Copies of this chain bind each other. A is one copy, B any other.
């Protein structure tokens, strides 16, 4: 079982396969459901009544508000120029990079296999298409798709 003792877990959270996830140092809000093969890192925060689907990765610096849907295989990021080592060839440690923060606002949905670049706000009830690569801010209620993702509609007007 890879649910760390330092995880702050709310009331009624469902982790269907605690032996097949990797959660540490994060918060998970009330009644949120978490699938298999999910990793949530330290200093990430997931709100209440969210659905975090299988194979997704939520990194340090990501804040997910309440009632958000994260599809399968979704990858968040927190560094624009990631490296394994510093310029002198020694392994990078936490001190060697600054986490760039990302926020997903209430009720948004992120489609499966989407990739979220760092430093982005995804607006309330926005809908990120499956396979999209999100490289900049997404407005409330916007529907976006593609690589890079562009707005294709508004959820208030249907598709």
**Which A residues form the contact surface with B (CB < 8 A)?**
2, 16-17, 19-20, 22, 31, 33, 35-37, 39, 49-51, 54-55, 57, 59, 67-69, 71-73, 75-77, 80-85, 89-92, 107, 109, 111-113, 115, 117, 127, 129-131, 133, 145-148, 155, 159
Main secondary structure on A side of the interface with B: loop
Q: How far is the CB of A14 from chain B (nearest CB, A)?
A: 9
List of B residues within 8 angstroms of A57 by Cβ: 54-55, 72-73, 112
List of B residues within 8 angstroms of A59 by Cβ: 72
Contacts A/B (CB < 8 Å), 11 sampled? A2-B17, A50-B84, A55-B55, A57-B73, A72-B75, A73-B75, A75-B113, A81-B155, A85-B107, A146-B147, A147-B147
Contact B109 A84 (CB under 8 A): yes
